[in-house]
A and B are shown apart, each in its own frame.
Chain A
Amino acid sequence: MTWLLNNGELIGQLVVAHLLISLPPIILSFVISVPIGWVANRYRWSRGTLLTVLGLLYAIPSLPLFIILPLVLGTGLRDSINLVVALTLYGIALMVRTTADGLASVDPGIRQSATAVGFSERSQFFRVDLPLAGPVLLAGIRVVAVSTISLTTVGAVIGVDSLGALFTDGFQRGIAAEILTGIVLTIIIALSVDGLLVLLGRVLMPWVAVNSGRVARRELRRARGPVTA
């Protein structure tokens, strides 16, 4: 406990560093997966290859990746960019398949109706397919977010600051409180970002709750008044 009180400032810095490392890969893997998912869906022959190859990215162990990336990117061995890029690759590996599946899940009847009233291919993608794939995309990005926030801690091994530094430092100096703080804070950040994504989904896709009948049930409960039993 005293360790925690004495190191408030350090902990604060590491939380910020952790977020700065983990948020860009979450956003990037979403943004990059959308066009790839579109291609996989639009050109059926590319689907199998694309999804398999990109899915395999996840199988690359992180340590060799941290050695290869500086060579490819021309960055320093301890540059945080390496970590951001590595996490983005893992994020894409998870997100591309979800995106392709989400786009494929859009009701063909609705797509035909959109074509019939005169959506161009482009406007149909952005105004019909993408929003309707939204719930699946949200589910996918939540997994990516939690996994990225947890994976960010491996940066400690190559000396990039994050909450992971609390594990390595705690182990070396045998401070259990430090290790525990690192674990708990990582979980708290993961849960908070996940919660924010859920909220964002509610705001951006108000129709999901309506169509699933959740809103109707809520209104029904309200109309009935408080349950007395």
Chain B
Amino acid sequence: MIEFRGVTKQFPDGTLAVKDFSLVLPSRKTTVLVGSSGSGKTTLLRMINRMVDPSSGYIEIDGEDTSHLEPVALRRRIGYVMQNSGLLPHLKVIDNVATVPVLNGVAKKQARADALHLLDTVGLDRTLADRYPSQLSGGQQQRVGVARGLAADPNILLMDEPFGAVDPIVRAELQTELIRLQRELDKTVVFVTHDIDEAFLLGDQVVILEKGGRIAQVGSPAEILAAPANEFVATFIGADKGKRALSIRNTPTGDILVDSEGRPAGVLVGETDVVAR
């Protein structure tokens, strides 16, 4: 469990990135921080592994105040995946994945052997192991990034817009993979995105942020969709328009769902507890 307690971050230049932020992120669940650019998502994420230290307040991991932990050691037991993979360009794929175990003192040979297995885990062909990151596609690089994040078998995985820079088709593929991985591995995942669809797809708990890391709403995707806390959330999730504002229309050949513009969006299938009136 990760817990933010009254966390504020003001940067030296005076920018107030996060103001009095409190939140519990349950273990073995995916919490998605979603908000527009500059809302403080990256700052929040980086305070978990102490790349950024809070100006006031504190963060607990499993009840332990992180300010008492040694930052380097803390980071080595927390996986981190970032947008442009952040892979080291001078190391082969296999050595990139083995980075953290090697830093932790695992013998290079062992670490490489384990890294090969991790390539399997994230769905990469082992023949890519000897390539350099620049010889991979963007999607493949992100998979390597995820493999590297998992290499030390951390309980916590921090992901900062990991799929933000790949095309929509690859992004959908990576999202599906992450859902599968999460089912198998059961990590505490903190995922940052500004894509609300991605947030609803991946999140057990979704946190919608306004400027300064102010929480507009926290809840499961269903809760947020069913009852947006305010105008801001409703607009942000697009509840009032487009493909989220669906309604049932009776047609001669059966009932269909239409979006706010009246375009057919789908059908109701199976058991439903909704009664069309």
Chain A residues with a Cβ under 8 A of chain B: 109-110, 112-120, 123, 128, 131-132, 134, 205, 207, 210-211, 216
A-B contacts besides A116-B51, A117-B75, 16 pairs, CB < 8 Å: A109-B84, A110-B86, A113-B82, A116-B46, A116-B49, A116-B80, A118-B72, A118-B73, A119-B103, A120-B103, A123-B103, A128-B88, A132-B89, A207-B90, A207-B134, A210-B134
- Give the contacting residue for A112; candidates B76, B86, B100, B149; CB below 8 A: B86
Asked if A116 and B75 sit within 8 Å, CB to CB, the answer is yes
How many interface contacts (CB-CB < 8 Å) are there between A and B?
A: 63
CB-nearest residue of chain A to B86: A113
Asked if B88 and A110 sit within 8 Å, CB to CB, the answer is yes
**Contact string, B230-267, partner A, CB cutoff 8 A, digits 1/0?**
00000000000000000000000000000000000000
CB distance from B99 to the nearest CB of A (A): 6
Knowing A119-B103, A120-B72, A123-B103, say if A114 contacts B134 (CB, 8 Å): no
Asked if B86 and A109 sit within 8 Å, CB to CB, the answer is yes
B56, CB-defined interface residue at 8 Å: no
CB-nearest residue of chain A to B134: A211
Near A by CB (< 8 A), chain B positions 86-102 give 86-91, 99-100
**CA A218 to CA B273, docked complex, whole Å:** 63
Asked if A117 and B148 sit within 8 Å, CB to CB, the answer is yes
Asked if A132 and B49 sit within 8 Å, CB to CB, the answer is no
> 26 pairs across A/B with beta carbons < 8 Å?
A109-B82, A109-B84, A110-B88, A112-B51, A112-B86, A113-B80, A113-B87, A113-B88, A114-B86, A114-B88, A115-B75, A116-B51, A116-B86, A117-B80, A117-B100, A117-B103, A118-B72, A118-B76, A118-B103, A119-B103, A120-B72, A123-B103, A207-B91, A211-B89, A211-B134, A216-B135
Cβ-closest 5 pairs across A and B? A113-B86, A118-B76, A118-B75, A116-B80, A207-B90
CB distance from A71 to the nearest CB of B (A): 45
CB-nearest residue of chain B to A210: B132
Knowing A110-B86, A117-B76, say if A207 contacts B100 (CB, 8 Å): no
Taking CB atoms, residues of chain B closer than 8 Å to A210 are 132, 134-135
Near A by CB (< 8 A), chain B positions 50-86 give 51, 72-73, 75-76, 80, 82, 84, 86
Asked if B89 and A110 sit within 8 Å, CB to CB, the answer is yes
Taking CB atoms, residues of chain A closer than 8 Å to B148 are 117
**CA A128 to CA B88, docked complex, whole Å:** 8
CB-nearest residue of chain A to B103: A118
**CA A76 to CA B164, docked complex, whole Å:** 67
Taking CB atoms, residues of chain B closer than 8 Å to A120 are 72, 103
CB distance from B47 to the nearest CB of A (A): 12
Taking CB atoms, residues of chain A closer than 8 Å to B132 are 207, 210-211
